């Protein structure tokens, strides 16, 4: 007899996507089981043990605003915290925290194990149970390598980099997942059997080294911020500060580069052993040296792996070069002359799909009730994975409850940009989120993620009543304070002129409002306190929003107008059964792309490469005729 069990939702893979998907499902009352090839790999960080960074910090804040766990988990387990890009505007400020790798994984596992309605199970999923209903394929469950069968109403695939994984450095090739963990070698065949197109991507990681063999006196210290800002909005009013551990900056040099060039034919990336595509924005050190031959040095960050380990991570020096070459090149870097490697750098190849196999809800187009999230969708990064995971978890439950899927627009969230890019573009490399991908980034700041998304999190049942009421009160205070500052006028009297002179600000010629003064580059909300005696004491998070809303008022209004035009296109739904061959005047390329991607709206159609604005106009005319 084989084991048979029944659940509402099955999640395959317990990486960052799988953890968020399983928590979202179980916290909404669904009986959920989460499968992992190893209990040691839950929320594992096989590459750099940090959370956040440029644009990625936005994603973490948005996951938290929806009711996810990543922000809370890193607040509990960080070693160092820094706010990046503070010399620039608030649109690109991004929080980044170095994590204690082991504690991060342990804490997430603890959260999962103490969550109601959630079962953790070690086991490899080898096949999907799929049946045909009303002419459509529908997932019914999964089968393990042990032949145990688990049935569910929805299944979410979050397999990360484990499918047919192969780790490579030099002439060493091992059929394992990251860090020597077991690979998943059977599920790919099951997906191919049901018409899912599979692709082969690659990523890589640097060596880990013994910190006791590093000479930090030859490096630049990178300390954390003295004022630690939490990732989770639940912790905004809490003191989460702790003694931080420094990171360190050093550089490669011409000797490093010569060793790499002399041995480039021994790199699997260059001798043909690895044919799959790697991430353009996180290249190996050999790719950087060969591509940017004019540069005489590259950054190298030495970062702690944990509080209770001597292992350190050699950031920005991922490689697939042989072991002996790795030793040679690392030891040319200042501070690493006598370094000992604890784990070799390696490249990893794995099977994945392209996001174009999916609807915007992250449900497969070809198989009902089957969802997918994370690196398996062709993305890269822990944060991108978590963002997809919470959306897949929400929508798997929505499908069971016969509720419309949650689809965040590009104008609502970085998560919306991420998923829209994945499902509308032929991604030929692992997708990485960047601030430049977001057209409305002034509105999609990390500081206002709760205002943008926590009402949605509350509606789906992932945000508590207490947190929701706190948000409503915060919004009221922001609105009232902005209105007050626009209403209070100050005259060109001696006191005001003296104040402005003290701030190196030009004198007033006529009366103006406090809001007008705040828009001057040299003045901010705190600076005006001296001439605003009736001001009430507000929290720092309210002050921040008041300042940004007034300071960038004109730019914000302009983006709001752009969004109104954008939303008109997004609301023009394209019927699922449309026959593009009936649409006259469509160019052949556009017709082929529209058939392939099956966009859900005119807006999505316009973002498909090969579909022009003129094609969209033709399509809109056709839809108007259909309506009549």
323, 348, 373: which is the final residue of a domain?
Answer: 348
Let me know whether 217 and 254 are in one domain: yes
**Cα–Cα distance, 197 to 191 (Å, whole number):** 8
Extract the tokens encoding 378: 């062709």
Residue 279 placed within a domain? yes
Residue 441 placed within a domain? no
> What is the chain's alpha carbon radius of gyration, rounded to the nearest angstrom?
26
| pLDDT tens by residue, 80-122 | 999 999 989 898 999 999 999 999 999 999 999 999 999 999 9
Top pLDDT among 261 and 616 is at: 261
pLDDT above 70 coverage of the chain, percent: 100
Q: What is the CATH number of the domain that holds 587?
A: 1.10.150.570
**Cα–Cα distance, 395 to 402 (Å, whole number):** 10
Let me know whether 231 and 283 are in one domain: yes
- Domain count along the chain: 3
498, 530, 555: which is the final residue of a domain?
Answer: 555
- Complete DSSP assignment for 521-584: TT--TTGGGGG-TTPPP--HHHHHHHHHHHHTHHHHHHHHHHHHHHHHHHH-BPPTT--GGGST
Q: What is the mean pLDDT of residues 208-229?
A: 97
Q: 610 falls in which pLDDT band (50, 70, 90)?
A: confident
Let me know whether 344 and 214 are in one domain: yes
- Complete DSSP assignment for 283-324: --HHHHHHH-TT-S--EEEEEES-TT--EEEEET------HH
Let me know whether 261 and 321 are in one domain: yes
Question: Which of 85-94, 272-281, 539-548 ranks highest by mean pLDDT?
Answer: 539-548
Let me know whether 334 and 270 are in one domain: yes
| pLDDT tens by residue, 401-435 | 999 999 999 999 999 999 999 999 877 889 999 99
What's the whole-number average pLDDT of the chain? 94
Let me know whether 580 and 610 are in one domain: yes
Q: Look at residue 1 in the predicted model and tell me its pLDDT.
A: 67
Q: What is the mean pLDDT of residues 179-192?
A: 93
**Cα–Cα distance, 247 to 240 (Å, whole number):** 19
CA distances from 197 to 184, 340, 592 (A): 17, 43, 17
Kindly report the pTM of this predicted structure. 0.94
Residue 596 placed within a domain? yes
Which range of residues forms the domain containing residue 519?
A: 468-555
> At 224, phi and psi to the nearest 5?
-80, 175
The H or E element spanning position 469 is helix 465-487
Q: What is the CATH number of the domain that holds 317?
A: 2.40.30.260
Say if residues 204 and 319 touch (Cβ distance below 8 Å). yes
Say if residues 239 and 540 touch (Cβ distance below 8 Å). no
Lowest-confidence region among 395-404, 473-482, 523-532 = 523-532
Let me know whether 255 and 321 are in one domain: yes
> At 349, phi and psi to the nearest 5?
-100, 150
Let me know whether 583 and 541 are in one domain: no
Say if residues 130 and 140 touch (Cβ distance below 8 Å). yes
Let me know whether 591 and 515 are in one domain: no
Residue 454 placed within a domain? no
pLDDT over 80 (residue 281): no
Residue 485 placed within a domain? yes
Q: What is the CATH number of the domain that holds 518?
A: 1.10.10.1800
CA distances from 152 to 32, 370, 398 (A): 9, 10, 14
pLDDT over 80 (residue 628): no
Q: What is the mean pLDDT of residues 29-42?
A: 96
Let me know whether 325 and 231 are in one domain: yes
| pLDDT tens by residue, 130-172 | 999 988 999 999 999 999 999 999 999 999 999 999 999 999 9
Residue 614 placed within a domain? yes
Let me know whether 623 and 496 are in one domain: no
DSSP 122: E
Q: 280 falls in which pLDDT band (50, 70, 90)?
A: confident
Let me know whether 606 and 510 are in one domain: no
Q: Which of 191, 85, 175 is nearest to 128 (CA)?
A: 191
505, 527, 555: which is the final residue of a domain?
Answer: 555
Residue 413 placed within a domain? no
Say if residues 351 and 198 touch (Cβ distance below 8 Å). yes
pLDDT over 90 (residue 576): no
Residue 3 placed within a domain? no
């Amino acid at each position: 007899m084989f084991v048979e069990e029944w659940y509402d939702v099955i999640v395959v893979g317990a990486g960052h996507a799988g953890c968020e998907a399983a928590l979202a499902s179980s916290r909404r009352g669904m009986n959920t089981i989460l499968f992992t090839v190893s209990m040691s790999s839950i929320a594992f960080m096989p590459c750099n043990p940090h959370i956040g960074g440029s644009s990625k910090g936005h994603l973490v804040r948005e996951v938290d605003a929806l009711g996810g766990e990543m922000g809370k988990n890193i607040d509990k387990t960080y070693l160092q915290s820094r706010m990046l890009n503070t010399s620039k505007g608030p649109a690109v400020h991004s929080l980044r925290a170095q994590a204690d790798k082991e504690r991060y994984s342990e804490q997430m596992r603890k959260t999962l194990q103490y969550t109601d309605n959630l079962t953790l199970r070690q086991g490899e999923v080898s096949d999907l149970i799929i049946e045909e209903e009303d002419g459509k394929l529908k997932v019914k469950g999964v089968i393990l390598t042990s032949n145990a069968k688990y049935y569910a109403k929805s299944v979410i695939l979050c397999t990360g980099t484990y499918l047919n994984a192969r780790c490579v450095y030099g002439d060493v090739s091992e059929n394992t997942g990251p860090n020597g963990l077991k690979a998943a070698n059977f599920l790919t065949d099951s997906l191919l059997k049901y018409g899912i197109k599979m692709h082969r991507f690659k990523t890589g990681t640097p060596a880990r080294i013994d910190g006791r063999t590093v000479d930090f006196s030859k490096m630049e210290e990178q300390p954390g911020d003295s004022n630690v800002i939490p990732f989770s909005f639940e912790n905004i009013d809490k003191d989460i500060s702790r003694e931080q551990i420094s990171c360190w900056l050093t550089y490669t040099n011409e000797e490093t580069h010569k060793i790499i060039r002399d041995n480039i034919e021994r790199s699997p990336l260059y001798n043909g052993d690895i044919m799959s595509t790697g991430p353009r924005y996180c290249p190996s050190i050999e790719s950087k040296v060969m591509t940017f031959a004019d540069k005489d040095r590259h950054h190298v960050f030495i970062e702690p792996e944990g509080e209770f380990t001597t292992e350190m991570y050699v950031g920005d020096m991922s490689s697939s070069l042989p072991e002996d070459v790795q030793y040679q090149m690392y030891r040319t870097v200042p501070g690493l002359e006598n370094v000992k490697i604890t784990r070799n750098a390696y490249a990893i190849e794995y099977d994945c799909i392209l996001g174009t196999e999916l609807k915007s809800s992250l449900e497969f187009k070809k198989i009902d009730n089957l969802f997918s999230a994370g690196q398996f969708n062709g993305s890269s990064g822990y944060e991108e994975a978590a963002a997809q995971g919470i959306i897949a978890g929400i929508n798997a439950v929505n499908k069971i409850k016969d509720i419309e899927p949650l689809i965040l627009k590009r104008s609502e969230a970085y998560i919306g940009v991420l998923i829209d890019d994945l499902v509308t573009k032929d991604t030929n490399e692992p997708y990485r989120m960047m601030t430049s991908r977001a057209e409305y980034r002034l509105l999609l700041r990390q500081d206002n993620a709760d205002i943008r998304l926590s009402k949605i999190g509350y509606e789906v049942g992932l945000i508590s009543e207490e947190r929701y009421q706190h948000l409503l009160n915060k919004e009221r205070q922001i609105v009232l304070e902005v209105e007050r500052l626009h209403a209070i006028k100050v005259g060109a009297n001696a006191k005001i002129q003296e104040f402005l002179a003290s701030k190196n600000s030009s004198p007033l010629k006529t009366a103006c409002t406090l809001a007008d003064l705040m828009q001057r580059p040299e003045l901010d909300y705190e600076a005006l306190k001296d001439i605003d005696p009736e001001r009430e004491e507000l929290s720092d998070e309210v002050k921040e929003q008041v300042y940004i809303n007034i300071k960038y008022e004109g730019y914000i209004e302009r983006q709001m107008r752009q969004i109104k035009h954008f939303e008109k296109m997004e609301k023009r739904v394209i019927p699922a059964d449309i026959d593009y061959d009936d649409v006259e005047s469509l160019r052949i390329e556009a017709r082929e792309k529209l058939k392939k991607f099956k966009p859900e709206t005119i807006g999505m159609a316009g973002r498909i490469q090969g579909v022009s604005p003129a094609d969209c106009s033709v399509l809109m005319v056709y839809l108007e005729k259909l309506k009549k």
